[in-house]
Each structure stands twice: as C-alpha cells, then as structure tokens.
A and B are shown apart, each in its own frame.
Chain A
Amino acid sequence: MTAFSPCTFSSDWENFVVDHLDRCVPAWRLQGFAGELNAELGLPITVDKESLEFPLGINTTFAQFWDRIKRTTDRASELLHDFQLRLFPAAAHPVIRTFNSSHIHVGTLTDESTGIYLENHLLDFIPAFAALAANSPASQGMVGEFKSYRVHTNAHYLIQPSSWRDPYVSQKIWGTDASPKLEVAPTQEIRITDCASSRRFLAELATFVTAFVQHEAKAVQPAPPDPQAYRDYLVNRWCAARDGMQATFRRHGRTITAAEMLAEMLDTCTQELQALGVNTHDLVLVNAMIDKRICQADLVLRLAERYPDPYALASVYGKLLRDWEWFDDYLLQATPLDPRPALSEQDIIMEHVKAIGEGTYYYRTRDVMNFPAAAADAVVEEAINAGLIRREYYSERGVVLSRIPSGTAGEG
C-alpha cells in the first residue's frame, strides 16, 4: 500500500541568469526565453524573481529525469547565449538577496490528509536533505556563517519550517519544508532543498528524495505531536544550515552525523530506487558526499576565502558554474571533512543569546532556530536566569531583550 500512485517525481529548478556584465537579469526579461523553452520542450518552464524556473515534468525513472535536465539546460544555455546571457545555477548569489531552490515533488499524491501525516513523519529526516543540498553560503554580502543561508533565513519567508499538523484541525498552508500540494501537480513537495549547481547531483538528489519519501509513506500513521522530537527537528535544521554535511543531529536522545543518517536513509530505500531505475551505488555523487561529508557549499566557501569581495566572488563563481561538472570533479578528488560536534543545550542557549544585542525585539530570538513559543520562551527564561540577558516590556515597543555585558550579571 502506498500513498503515491502512480510513483512519479520532478523538480522545480530555479536558475539565476546573468548577463555579460555578471548582473542578474530580472524575471520579466526572461519571460520570452521561458515561453520558447516551454513550447520547444513541452515543459511548463516559467520565471520567478531573478530566475528561469525549470519544472522538469512528470518523471517515472532516473534516466528520464536525467535526460530532461540535460536537454532543458543545454537548450536554455543556447537560447541565452544569443543574448550574451548564461545560467547561474546556485541557491544564492553573493551580491543580491534572492535565493533559489530545487524543490522536489514526489507524486502522485491524491490524499492531502495522508500528506499531512507524512509531513509530520518526515520531520526526523528533512534536515538531512537540507544538509545534503546545502548550497547557499554566500548571499547579499554575507559569507560563511551558514552553508545554507537560504534555509537559515527561510529564504526571506519563501519557505518555513513545517509545523506538526493534524488534518482535522489544520488550515491549508503553502511553502513549508515538506508539505503536500494537490493543486497543479498533486505531490508532496520537499521544499527545503537548496538549488543544485550540478546537474548530475540534482538528478541523484531528486531520485534519492523520491525513493526515500515513497518508502516512508508506506509506514506512515497518524501520531500525536511530540514536542521534543519537533524541537530536535528545528535544532537539526539549524545545524544542517550551518554545517551542511558536517552536521551532527539529535535523534531520540542520541546523536548521529548527517552522513550516517543519510547512509541509513539510502539503505532503507533500495527497492524504491530500483523502481526508479537505479541502484544505490549508481548515486555516485550522493555516496561520495556521504563518505566525505562534503556538500556544494564547501566548494563555494573555498572560493570565497580567496575572493572575499562579493562582486569578485560572484564573477568567478559564475564562470565556474558554467561547467556542470565543476562540483562533481572537485568532490571526487576532495579530502574528507570532519563532522562538527552536536549542539549541547548550552550551545542552543548561547546561539539565541548571540541574536540579542540591545533593544532586540523578542521575536528576533524566534528567528534563530524557529522554536515555537513555548520552546523559545524556555530558552529566553534560561538565558535570563543565567544572567545573560534582561527582558523589558514597553506599551508601544512590545517585549524587548538586551544582553548583559559579561561581568555585570545581575545588575540588569
């Protein structure tokens, strides 16, 4: 029994387009290219923000999907070249604010309630996909604090962490990490994934995500909310955004590295992968990323060390992105990275305290790890009790928090 029938998948792959002066081209100028590609390729290609968006149709096998990726990007590149334009396939641009994704749609889903239960069930695993796809370590002048600024900033509210939902008491929502969507393409949309720069990686990622989601859907059951598991999901999501494949997650009171978790996930869905026409070992890049704990963001960060100016980074990065195998080549010869330690409870408090300066609105602490009110309040209370911050109430300004300089605890 499966929630998905027939088993299909796709990706909405957003690509920046830059002109010969390295500037991002606005969406309205790209509409003609989208229309031509739409007509030629029979795919609903469109535009979004500064991007050409490639919805890659309904696919049933890896080979079909891989062929569509190549045909679409090759033809798009040809059309763009005539106007001295080129694709800039990245989840973030070092200079501008926009983020891109490769949303992965797992179909065919016709029961929204099942999709909601599945979304709850997937919370344990979603951060692992974020770690694997992390590819936005340089955005709008910010570099290196996070391997996925897109996930950390929730793409400026174009994605949001999933909530634990019950189909009997929930409203329709849009744009969470992994929610069901029954309009247009009836699918479970895994939205947390950053835009891929490597075509081969996108093909492998989408196939892996699809196989795993289809596998998990077989066992999904209604379950009551689990606040601790939900909090762990949010902590893991934050770790995935910061550390990419070097992240270490919390799971049921223990820790597990992102690489270990992904390896387990890959092992569980071998049958579903075979149904999509591949074996586990065919996912060459995904396996190498798991072995070496490297994601696409790591390659960009290496570049950013040598090109600290965002404009300079964008220029060089754009040239390297023309080569679809840039990441693939690097990955296969790269030295493995070490996992970073899991966050302790004290680390979690201090990450929240870092967000507090002086007169900081209470809700800024919610931006840190997206904790729901009760969990966020608990962290704030602990920080207050530890003498790290103070809280003030103003009738017009609301609740504001200020950090107490070290050495003056208790004076606030």
Chain B
Amino acid sequence: MKAILGTIDDITVLHAENGHQRLLVSCSPACVVPDYTPPPAWLHDARISVERDVDDPREVGEPGDNILLTPDESQPWLCPLRVTPAVVYGHCPDTILVTMHWWETNNTPPPVTVQANGRSISSAFTRHDDSFQAEIRLADFFPHEPTLPVHLRATCHGITAVCHILPADHAFTDTVVLPDGEMCHLENSWYRVDITPNTGGGAIYTWQEKGRDVDHFARQDNRIANPLEVAGHLDGYQIHMKPASHLKKVTVANRGAWREDRSSHLRIDGSIREAVDLTTSVDYTLFDAVPLLCWQRTFSLHSQTPPVAADTLQVPIEQAWPFGTNFRTSWLVDRSETSGSRIITAYRGHLITIRHTQTYRTVHGMEWRANAGWFLIEHPLRREWMLYCYDRSRPPHLHCWLEPNVFVLAPAWPMRTLCAGTSIGITLAASVGECAGADIHGAWIGCRTIRRAGGLHCAVIARFTGQWQHGTAVITVGSSQQTCPLQRFHVRGVGDIAYGLADFPYGRMDEPFHITVPNIPQRGEG
C-alpha cells in the first residue's frame, strides 16, 4: 500500500528495440507515498535499482528526477527484515527463516540476533538470490513445547521482525508486529481482529472470519493508498465547521490489553492535536462465546487553548464547542451490473437499501435519522456481511458513497455543545459473517467456525428494530438442522442483541449454510 519515491541517480539502457526500451534505474529514496513521510532510517544512504519498460524514455526522466516504485517493489525495502512464517497457530515449527533484503551492495548484513524464552542467539546470513537468509532452529530456544503465545524477535541492523506463535484454540489478546506494522490483536474462536494502536487512534485494520479465512477488510493488491482509507473502521469527530476528521492526528498516550470475564479487552488513550485540548479513548471488547465485537469511543474536552488574554471579554458561548461523533468504514467494493455492495436499514416500516453506482456521489440522510439501531452492509457477490448495532434512542444520520474500488459508510451523529471538562462518546457493536437477513423487523448475521473437536460451531447474531422478540432460529448446515432459542445479550450503550448458537459435530465448511430467523428472511446473492 505504501511506495518509495526515489530520486534518480543513474539510468542504464538494458535493451532497446523498435523504440521500446528496458531501463535500469538507480535511485535514492526520497520519501514514502502516500503520506510523504521520510524514508526509514536504514534507507538514508541506500541505492535502489528497478527496471522499467518504456515506449518513451521521458516517462522515466533523467538523473535528478523522481521515480515512484510500486508497493510490491517497495515492500522489500520498507520491510527489509522478514520472518517466515510471521504468524503460526497452535504449535512451534521446527525452524523459522529470517530473510534480509540488504541494501549495501558491497557488504553482507551483520548477523541476525533472535530472542525468545530468555535466550538470545545470533546467526550469520548466507546469500540467497538477491537477499540473505538465516534458518533458526526453535529447539535451541524451547527445549520442550512452550505455552502459547510466544514471540521470537529477530533483530538486525536495528530492524526488528517477529514470529508470533499463537494459540489455535482459545481466545486471547496480544500485541503483534506484522509487515503492515504493530497491531493489537484480539482473537476468539470466530474472529481475528487487528487494531492499529498508533494510527487512527485505535482503528480496526483487519477483521478476519476464521471459519472461511476471509478478511472483511481485505485491500486491493499493489495499489498506493492509505490502508485505513480503503478498508477498515475509523472512528471520527467533527468540531466546529471543520469537515469530519478521522483521528489521523492522534498521539497515543497509553494502551493495554487484558483478559477478563471470558472476553478480551483493549484500551487505547490518545490526545488529538486540535485547536482545543482534546483527548480520546477507545475500549474494545471481543467476547469469547459469541461473534461480536463491541467498543466505546469517548472524546473529552479538557480546557480551551490557547489561554484567553486578560483584556478579552469572556462570554459563555466562547467556552462552548459544537462537537459531533461519526465513523467511517470502507470496504473493497463488490459490483456487478445489477448488484453489489449495499447498505440496508429499516426506517418507519420501510426496508431501505442503498446501492451506489456513481463514484463520489454521496447519499446524505440529513432529513432522517437511521433509528432502527442497525446497519447491515452487504457484499453479496463475495458473500460477506457486516452488522453494525448502535443506540436507537439517539441515532445517526446516514452518509455513504463510492470511491474508486471502495465502498464507504460514514454515519454521523447530531452535534452537541461541548464545554471544557465534559466528554462525549458512542458505543458500537458489530459482527461479520457469511450469511445475513434483513427486514423491517431487524437484521441478523450468520457465522460459523471450525471446532477443535471437529465439526462446526455456528452462531446467529440478531438485532431487532423494535422491542425484543422471543423466538427460535433454525440453523442448517448441509442436511443437518438444529433449532436454538434466541437469547438476550445486553450491550451497555447499544441495547439488546439476540444470539443463538449450535454445534454441528459432523458439519463441514464446504456444506451449504442456512439460517431462519422469525420475520427476518435470509438475504440472497443478488
């Protein structure tokens, strides 16, 4: 997603025929696009070579000009040290492979040092094609099978990469370092969720359904983009007349993850660089038993800055700030001539569906508020659904639009007046799955995962538009069918959510999956 913009040092013609040329371009990294940040420290004196096929050499330019690498070309330089595998579930592999994409052409990299279980072992690299590799035996660190999770930290030339060996069969939370950066990882038997601790003030970066091994926030390959702008969930706010801001300017002050009461918790606190003294915090909870993630985002205004001059007349309105909360979630768009990504909700006895076909044409819901307490987001062609639940008594206005290859949902809550010493927030609960239903009476999500003992564990998460409804869901996997009473689950700040669970000891993921919820028919593929 990120790419190196380099300054060209030298251009060599490798091949020329019929006006077509293959060029070898040598460059020095100048910045990282799209954020235009300085290149990593290890690239300050590096020289990078790439090849370009051109019809016109002016496309490349001349020494002193820029050349933009692709994300695929940039990745080995931005993350030169890699551990394979980066994440393993359930057991220690015999070995891990550390690969260094070394930038000094005349030297070999220094040895890599791997640390785990209180031990530190160095190993020399050997050349392998255009990189250097070192194979590390895990038996040297763990004389017997360790208790998971464990992390093997490889360091070379001040660069670190980590191999995470994570538990396969129980819920946990931990910090992981992935090629995309450091993530706070929440996991239960249904989902793997990665939260960015340092960017976006705690945004949801990936949300993986374990049963199907599907990431609902998958991103387009080899395209330059800010990852959270093309997929993921970002909370946001609006202060005075500025457009919505999505926590890009948060400095994280504190974070921590823990297990408590059969659920995984994560808290991130940060301060926001704004005209006022503003802080934010988010508390995530992923429940062990049900496929449901909840979080509460709060914003607190502490004092007005800069201090008011002594000779300035003070009036109450100068101490007040209009403040609104919102969020922005984006997905890779799902699209055919007559179907594709859509948002579904209920409003005054109508089932409302919004499916865009025109890029950058926003649907604004300024005249009505989405008071059903839920949005169902549907990508029917790839069979992915996401259900958002929120407080019905103070609902948001709906905003949504298409960007090139991206589908965006951005609800905004009505603004309030915030004074120093006060806080404001929203609570959300969400679920993703492989089937769903929606009607004026409510919406539901169906999800299944593989049981440790074999077979499948299936769940339905439902949100009713009106009052709580007693009922029984029928879950079918292949030719097996089970009924499960819908049970009430109260999420503070959101309200009642219904869930039903069923085990299918002989069920398989490749069998058809169907759920019946009273009054809320299952959605089709169209």
A residues apposed to B, CB below 8 Å: 20-23, 140-143, 303, 309-312, 315-316, 319-320, 322-323, 326, 354-361, 364, 367, 394, 396-398, 402-403, 405-406
Complex contact B357–A315 (CB within 8 A): no
CA distance A169 to B30 in the complex (A): 59
Query: Please, how many angstroms separate the alpha-carbon atoms of A141 and B402 in the complex?
Result: 11
* Chain A, Cβ-Cβ closest to B58: A320
Count A/B pairs, Cβ under 8 Å.
Answer: 98
- Where the two chains meet, the residues of B that have a C-beta atom closer than 8 Å to any C-beta of A are 3, 5, 30-31, 33-34, 36, 56, 58-61, 65-68, 70, 222-224, 338-340, 342, 347, 350, 352-361, 363, 365, 367-368, 403-405, 526
- In the complex, chain A residues whose CB is within 8 Å of the CB of B365: 397
Given A21-B31, A312-B70, A397-B367; A319-B357 close (CB under 8 Å): no
Query: Which partner residue on chain B sits nearest A326 by CB separation?
Result: B58
Residues of B close to A315: CB separation below 8 A: 5, 66-68
**B58–A323 touching, CB < 8 Å:** yes
Complex Cα gap A132–B65 (Å): 32
Contact of B36 among A23, A303, A356 (CB under 8 A): A23
Asked if residues A319 and B363 are in contact (CB atoms below 8 Å), the reply is no
Q: Across the two chains, which residue of chain A brings its CB closest to B223?
A: A309
Chain A hits for B338, CB < 8 A: 403, 405-406
Complex alpha-carbon distance, A367 and B362, angstroms: 13
Q: Is the CB of B68 within 8 A of A312?
A: yes
The answer to whether A20 and B58 touch across the interface, beta carbons within 8 angstroms, is no
Q: Are A22 and B367 in contact (CB under 8 A)?
A: no
B342 near A309: Cβ-Cβ < 8 Å: no
Give Cα A216–Cα B316 distance, bound, in whole angstroms.
Answer: 64
B68 touching A311 by the CB < 8 A rule?
Answer: yes
Closest to A143 in B: B404
Cβ of A22 and Cβ of B68 under 8 Å apart?
Answer: yes
Tell me how far the C-beta of A307 lies from the nearest C-beta in chain B, rounded to whole angstroms. Answer: 8
A208 to chain B, nearest CB (A): 28
Kindly identify which residue among A316, A358, A361 contacts B59, using a CB–CB cutoff of 8 Å.
A316
Beta-carbon contact of B61 and A319 below 8 Å: yes
Q: Are B224 and A311 in contact (CB under 8 A)?
A: yes
Interface pair A358/B342, CB less than 8 Å apart: yes
List the B residue with the shortest CB-CB distance to A357: B355
A357 touches B356 (CB 8 A): yes
A309: chain B residues at CB < 8 Å are 70, 222-224
Closest to B67 in A: A315
Cβ–Cβ contact A359 & B358, under 8 A = no
16 contacts between A and B (CB under 8 A): A20-B30, A21-B5, A141-B405, A311-B34, A312-B3, A319-B60, A320-B56, A320-B58, A326-B58, A357-B357, A358-B353, A358-B354, A359-B353, A360-B355, A367-B358, A402-B353
The 9 closest A-B pairs by CB, nearest first: A141-B404, A357-B355, A358-B355, A396-B368, A359-B354, A315-B68, A311-B224, A357-B357, A358-B353
Report Cα–Cα, A405/B357, bound state, in Å: 14
Nearest neighbor of A315 in chain B, beta-carbon distance? B68
How distant is the Cα of A230 from the Cα of B200 in the complex, in angstroms? 50
Residue from B36, B60, B223, B224 in contact with A21 in the complex, judged by beta carbons closer than 8 Å: B36
One of B3, B34, B357, B526 near A355 (C-beta < 8 A): B357
- Complex interface: chain B residues within 8 A of A355 (CB): 357-358
